[in-house]
Structures are given as structure tokens and as C-alpha cells.
Amino acid sequence: MNHGFGPATTIYRAPSYARIPSKTFQGKRNILPGPSAVTFSHVIGAETQSPEVIGGIVGSVFGGIVGGYIGERVAHSIKGFPPIWTELEITLRSDGSKQGRLVHYSYFPSINYYEADDEGTTPGAPFTRKPLGPIAYYNAVPNLDHWNKNGWGTASLTGSPGPRDGNPWSINK
């Protein structure tokens, strides 16, 4: 069975505060082929850079290149945000069946999980929102402070599905 990732397997990200683009991280991909199925897992993520970019601009006004670097580091230590990330998995079987799931993710932001309709012919709605276990979607708002404090360091991508402290790229504050 031939298999692989296409170039469109990436993360959607809107501009952050002040319309500053987010930093994206190199995706972590894994392919596990079997005799009658192949399982793909993909970890994708991004991090807002607004505080750092703004701090760098302010710092450079007062201190040139060195001031820009210092302004960026100070802004990161005061108001930097941890990465947001998601690990998705899909198993495709030779009989045509498939199984997708949301595996692990950061405590922030909120998540809706959609799968393509089998026929893909529903006009205007080619995807169906799938429940995340016992809940329809993951509401991250109550976990914002937890994520801001604990979203740094290394995330464990083993064990039962659900949100994780840290991040897959081991980014520290």
C-alpha cells in the first residue's frame, strides 16, 4: 500500500494581536503501516509572537539591535504565551473504512473536531462535527490560566487521550 503526507497537512492560523502572524512549528509526523491498514499521526502547532515582536520594536527604538533583542526577551518573559498544539490520528483500512481521532492537545485553545462525510456530497457542509469522548467540544476558557502557567516544557504524548501540560517542541518560557 502506498502512503504518505501531502503538502496541505498543516495548521490553520489567523493573525494574532496587532495582526502579527503566529510562529509555526515543524510538524511531527508518524506513519505506522500494517498488513491491511496504515495509521498516520500528526502533531501541529503554533505560537503567538505578538508580545515578542512588539517588545522588539519598542526595544530597538531605544537601543538599536541590542535593545530590540532585549525588548523581545523581556516581553517574552512577562507576557509570552506557550505554544498551542494538537495531535491528530487517522487509520485507513484496505476495506475502505477509516477511524480518526483527536489524541492529545494543549489546554488552550478550545477545540472542535470534524471529519469529512463519507460521501463528501453534503452541499455546504462536507464535514461533520464529532464528539470528543463524552463532550461535544473542548472548552478551553476555564483552563486558560493553567495553560499559560503549565504549557511550557516537554509534553507527554503517551497515555490516554486528552489535554497535556507542556508542548511537543519542549519550548520553555
The predicted-structure confidence for 25-83, as pLDDT tens digits, reads as follows 999 999 999 999 999 999 999 999 999 999 999 999 989 999 999 999 999 899 999 99
C-alpha cell at 67: 535593545
pLDDT at 3 over 80: no
Provide CB contacts within 8 A for 116, sequence distance 6+: 126, 127
Model pLDDT, residue 146? 96
The Cα–Cα gap between 128 and 146 comes to: 30
Taking the whole predicted model, whether its pTM rises above 0.75 is answered as yes
Element (H, E) at 150: helix 144-150
Query: What pLDDT, on the 0 to 100 scale, is given for residue 171?
Result: 94
Here the cell at position 10 is: 498543516
pLDDT the model gives residue 1: 57
Quickly state the pLDDT bin for 120 (edges 50, 70, 90). Answer: low
Q: How many CB atoms lie within 10 A of CB 39?
A: 16
